[in-house]
Structure 1
Amino acid sequence: MLDIAEELHRWVEQGREFAVATVVGVSGSAPRQPGAGLAVDSEGTVVGSVSGGCVEGAVYELCREALEEGRTVVERFGYSDEDAFVVGLTCGGVIDILVTPVRGGVFPAALRAAAFGEAAALVRVVEGPAELMGRALLVRPDGSYEGGLGDHPDLDRTAAGEGLAMLDAGRTGTVEIGEDGSRCGRPVTLLVESSVPAPRMIVFGAVDFAGALARVGRFLGYHVTVCDARPVFTTRARFPDADEIVVDWPHRYLESAAAAGAIDGRTVLCVLTHDPRFDVPLLRAALGLPVAYIGAMGSRRTHEDRNRRLREVGVTELELARLRSPIGLDLGARTPEETALSIGAEIVAARRGGSGVSLTGAHTPIHHDGPHEPDGRRIGSVA
């Protein structure tokens, strides 16, 4: 549901009544992952998607019914030959959908947090005793929470703890606890949706390729920074798609950002300078950081020379193994746009655990359980 928070926050501000359908369970080759949402207001306006189109019509009607009747329901959709194009999943998977009317409680605060890029976790009961279904609490990064799941205080405390753990990891998925908050007793399944700030893409080198990559990075959901030490090239006019323009020596900026806590395990670093004066100190600093991706542009000859220089300044073979160079997948790219596409594709493959090979004739999964979503969530994180 938080994936459509900006629109739903506007609906709340406008006083519109609506119901939300949220994917809470997935098995097989389902097109959307837990947390994906679709909402319908009292006028019949719809936003979002829970299946990429397969079951939207049936879910739309469930939302209308939930608004009229004021009740929460869970519905399962799977593949059937007869109904594949009506209410079944043509891809062959199975999804469970939670449909609930949104009328106050913690939902407005959760939607506002997600809409403004604030860290928070929405925890909801998606399976368990009927009287608990759909109840929710909102967990903040400091561990505080509002709302409640039931009459047992231990249930709220345990649920808040689980929500905080998922929030710290930037994950969305389900967890199971006991009805009284313990690890035993009648089980209650919780869906935890984490809202975290956008991950960072830092592009070093104010070159034409950086402009194209800034567009791709923003399209993929990253907060894009372009950094270069040359002020004449590092301008807003040249990089209108970047969220941030920084004029500084690349290694100095990276070190200060890391010291300020602005670099994390979701950050991707793209080094497009291919100049030893910039590359060596920058990559020496980058390869010591726990980031998601480090790529450097240059020919294979440049790559070998750069690796030699990095070894000379103390970079280990284990650290060098993290460097993706030459940067990008082999698409035969030539233009800045094509090159940016190849870099973006490699970042997605690294994030999702993909191989980068053509799906035609391959026997690999179409969807992978990679380590990171663009917003920090983990794919397939359904316990």
Structure 2
Amino acid sequence: MMEIYEGLKHCLENKQRAVLATIIEVDGSTYRREGASCFITEDGKVLGTVSAGCVEGDLFEHARDVLESGRARTQHYDFRSEEDLLWGMGVGCNGAMKILLQPFDPVRYPAYTNHVFQMYEKKVFCRKEFIVGIVIDTADPSTHQIGTPYIFEQDERSTPRIRNGSRGLVHWELKGVQVTLYVETVQPRPMLVVYGAGPDAIPLVQGASRLGWHVTLIDHREHALCHQAFASADRLQLISREDYGNLYVDENAYVVVMTHNYLLDAKVVKRMIDSTIPYLGVLGPRKRIERILQEIHTEQKRPIVVDFAKLHAPIGLDIGADSPEEIALSILAELTSCRNRRGGQSLRLRNEPLHERHEFVSEKVLAQR
């Protein structure tokens, strides 16, 4: 998402044309799901993906038409036929998808382009959940242009919602006009707080940033925090050694402790062990965390109840990681599996569909906005 945002920002500042492509409907099994986007510049550069490379080339041709006409449109792809020659020798996705193409032209359509950019910027940097609807079809194009985004209040009566899901198509009445909206409940970026700006934190911070996490890096060493390799972190926080055990962390944050200093690690764990954060991962051997937990038990003079759904120590999935890059990969995989409430097992052992399936039910509400 951040990559596409940077592309939108670059084109806006440099008055360059492009097209934003977003999957708005999926039927069956596809590589990406609803909400996935890519950004296609006029010279053919593609940021982000909506497929495994099956449709991006064809989308570029349709993007040209969108740029010339200045009108948003939808494009449908169906991969369910094994003899589909258009997509070349068996894509094999067994699914179909509909993609919305929105023009991004700062010169010819500055108002619309700014509206699209501001909406995407809000999606990237929001700190609270909100609902956005994009017009896909309309009974009156002069009133509600296809591709126009709207932010809705968090009000049950006047907000279009998807039953059993967070995104999909909805029939709606918008200011007296019947429209079809692509509706998405936008969540804030997941927050990752990393204690310790050592060399092995570099691939973790960089990888988490690429995966769309809001990353805060904390350390007491200013020279370590200022390393150019941590430029992708959203926030660098310099603290004193004493603050490791006192710092407030948002209750929704995922916390990774990797200071390589037992006393500092212990301060953080003692501070976080009873907090409501969903994830606390500690780098190091099992005996290390057992020693910290024993210290907590001794200091508090009471039995300590450890939430092992939250505490991950040793941290990461068991992939035989050895190098800093592999260790970061194992940690990121565990963070992702915990956030998505998956077990992290091999997909060949999964009997259910790879992606959670929701039946998108269209709703028609007569209340006007």
Both structures adopt the same fold (TM-score exceeding 0.5)? yes
Q: Deviations over 1:47-100 (max 9, x none)?
A: 443222112233223222333344443333222222266288532222111224
CA spacing shift, 1:191–1:311, aligned 2, 3 Å:
same
Q: Deviations over 1:244-275 (max 9, x none)?
A: 443425783575443xxxx252x221112465
CA spacing shift, 1:286–1:162, aligned 2, 3 Å:
farther
Contact 1:2–1:114 under 8 Å retained in 2: no
Q: Describe the SS at the equivalent of 2:319.
A: coil
Q: Which moved more, 1:340-349 or 1:117-126?
A: 117-126
Q: Deviations over 1:113-162 (max 9, x none)?
A: 6459543865312256473562524439xx69xxxxxxxxx9xx93xx55
Contact 1:286–1:294 under 8 Å retained in 2: yes
Q: Which runs of 4+ in 1 moved over 6 A?
A: 379-383
CA spacing shift, 1:94–1:213, aligned 2, 3 Å:
same
Find the counterpart in structure 2 of residue 134 from structure 1: 146
Is residue 133 of structure 2 the alignment partner of residue 123 of structure 1?
A: yes
Q: 1:333 aligns with which of 318, 321, 333?
A: 321
Q: Describe the SS at the equivalent of 1:30.
A: coil
Q: Describe the SS at the equivalent of 1:64.
A: helix
Stretches of structure 2 that go unaligned for 5 or more consecutive residues are 362-369
2:341 and 2:323 mapped to 1: Cα distance?
26
Find the counterpart in structure 2 of residue 95 from structure 1: 97
Is residue 25 of structure 2 the alignment partner of residue 37 of structure 1?
A: no
CA spacing shift, 1:249–1:84, aligned 2, 3 Å:
farther
Q: Note the C-alpha offset of 1:301.
A: 2.0
Find the counterpart in structure 2 of residue 188 from structure 1: 180
Contact 1:202–1:270 under 8 Å retained in 2: yes
RMSD: 4.2
CA spacing shift, 1:110–1:321, aligned 2, 3 Å:
same
Q: Deviations over 1:187-231 (max 9, x none)?
A: 7333337485x54322223444334433333333334333234x3
Contact 1:19–1:66 under 8 Å retained in 2: yes
Q: 1:174 aligns with which of 153, 158, 168?
A: 168
Q: 1:108 aligns with which of 106, 111, 114?
A: 114
Is residue 218 of structure 2 the alignment partner of residue 216 of structure 1?
A: no
Stretches of structure 1 that go unaligned for 5 or more consecutive residues are 145-153, 166-170, 370-378
2:140 and 2:85 mapped to 1: Cα distance?
30
2:332 and 2:82 mapped to 1: Cα distance?
37
2:52 and 2:197 mapped to 1: Cα distance?
37
TM-score, with normalisation over the residues of structure 2?
Answer: 0.73
Q: Describe the SS at the equivalent of 1:20.
A: strand
Give the aligned length. 343
Is residue 8 of structure 2 the alignment partner of residue 8 of structure 1?
A: yes
CA spacing shift, 1:203–1:130, aligned 2, 3 Å:
same
TM-score, with normalisation over the residues of structure 1?
Answer: 0.71
Is residue 357 of structure 2 the alignment partner of residue 355 of structure 1?
A: no
Contact 1:23–1:37 under 8 Å retained in 2: yes
